[in-house]
Amino acid sequence: MSTYISDEVQAGLDQARLKAEKRNSRLRVQVDEKFYPVLKLWDTGFSLDAADAPNLRGLVDLYDGGRHLYQCLIVASEAEFGRMKYDFKRNTAVLDKAPLDFVRDENAPIALLGSS
């Protein structure tokens, strides 16, 4: 039995795989006012569809649906199999509240109750 696949069939399989990854991913990258779907995310970077994404560089925002996850400084790494890989130079998690600049006591009161 042969495992040879023609170039046309392989190209069709690659296109179908990219289309499925785009459809299933909730992650997206915002650059200026444009959004690009993220195909895969890992600790040191992410990948986008090479046909859709320009050669990105600089500061971008990474979202999971409508939730802002990270603010990232990126550089384009390499293109392979229809995907453009980007590496993080800096990856900072976005917080929904300001960080404290002091240690909060565990037994500190949450609120003050006034006498009526």
Distance CA 35, CA 32 (A): 8
67 backbone dihedrals φ, ψ, rounded to 5°: -90, 125
Is residue 34 pLDDT above 80, yes or no? Answer: yes
Confidence at 22, pLDDT banded by 50, 70, 90: low
75-96 average pLDDT score: 86
Say what the pTM is: 0.66
- Letter string b/e over residues 27-49, b meaning 16 or more CB atoms within 10 A of that residue's CB: bbbebeeeebbbbeeeeebbbbb
Q: How many CA atoms lie within 13 A of 107 on its CB side?
A: 0
Dist CA 28 CA 39 (whole Å): 9
pLDDT the model gives residue 87: 92
State pLDDT tens for residues 39-74.
888 999 998 888 877 788 889 999 988 888 899 999
Q: Output 23 or 28, whichever has higher pLDDT.
A: 28
Assign a CATH topology to domain 11-93: Thrombin, subunit H (2.40.10)
Give the model's pLDDT for residue 116.
64
Q: What tokens does 111 get?
A: 């609120």
Domain boundaries, the chain: 11-93
